[in-house]
Amino acid sequence: MRAYQDWVIEAETKGQKLSQVILQDQMEELEQTEQALFQRMSANLKVMRESVEAGLVGKRRSLSGLVGGDAAKVENRRNMGASLVGEIMSGAIAKALAVAEINACMGKIVAAPTAGSCGVLPAVLLTVEEARQVSERDLLLALFTAAGLGMILAERASVSGAEGGCQAEIGSAAAMAAAAAVELAGGSPSQTADAAAIAMKSMLGLVCDPVGGLVEVPCVKRNATGATIALAAAEMALSGVKSAIPIDEVIDTMGQIGKQMPCALKETAQGGLAVSTTGRRIQADFL
């Protein structure tokens, strides 16, 4: 089975970014040129940007009526200079809510790695883009780093809520975003691994308990908190903080916890918040 650490060693030996190793791997795997892969990734980035913009407007509501308009609230407060946590954190929160709301409202998004967790990665990367001078090429490369880690997560554990709970969806998204943010901010390949490990460790055990089985409550807001965990993990890794447990072992642990997690807490809407008094009432009202 592949290990993220192998890519880290290869990148550091060659003096490359982690994304360059992944890009090379994928050019061989898909038998496509670098330019072709960049074009496909550009299409993803374009939709990510559009979904952030559409969500920040805040006009749309989901089919159940439970979701919509919260990204705009956070963005407005941020624009007034009133944010408690500052420009970067509030920006990431608003953007993550924006994309997750667009998803719930049947708008167009990029699954990253899933539709339910689609807000975390665009929020974190576009926030880093706002904060730092980064080129479009570096942004695309960071997406390859995120996707490469995602491949390892899918191979060694799972990125499906039905298989591994929310830790496998928003947890994976947070780890992918943390690694990508570190690379984009100039961190080393091994720092991307530390950031991913710290983010994933912070999400271990999180259950998938959607009210009424819908990708709305608590999914949308967990995209926002997932983005803040990714940024906190990136901040630590960029400062030289190391993860005591290596990334591949953390991923294996996530997979193991997913297996141990009862079915009621894996996207079946039979446990957790889905069966809280209010959760049940919402389900009865809507469905």
Residues that bind another protein (CB under 8 A): 22, 26, 29-30, 37, 40-41, 43-44, 47, 62-64, 102-116, 118, 121, 143-144, 146-148, 150-151, 154-155, 157-160, 162-163, 176, 212-216, 269, 286-287
Shortest separation between residue 183's beta carbon and another protein, angstroms: 14
Report, in Å, the least distance between residue 115 CB and another protein: 5
User: Which is nearer to another protein, 8 or 211 (by Cβ)?
Assistant: 211
CB 198 to another protein: min, Å:
20
Q: Which is nearer to another protein, 217 or 236 (CB)?
A: 217
Beta carbon nearer to another protein, 83 or 165 = 165
* DSSP assignments along 128-194, one per residue: HHHHS---HHHHHHHHHHHHHHHHHHHHHS---HHHH-HIIIIIHHHHHHHHHHHHHTT--HHHHHH
CA distance 178 to 172: 10
User: Each residue of 204-238: b (16+ CB within 10 Å) or e?
Assistant: eebbbbbbbebbbbbbbbbbbbbbbbbbbbbbbbb
Q: Distance between CA 277 and CA 285 in Å, rounded?
A: 12
Shortest Å distance, C-beta 114 to another protein = 6
Nearer to another protein, 110 or 195 (CB): 110
Residue 206: CB minimum distance to another protein, A: 18
| Min separation Cβ 74 and another protein, Å | 20
Nearest residue (CB) to another protein, 124 versus 146: 146
For helices 4-14 and 247-260, give the axis angle rounded to 10 degrees.
Answer: 170
CA dist 178 and 158 (Å) reads 18
Kindly tell me which of 78 and 95 has the beta carbon lying closer to another protein. 95
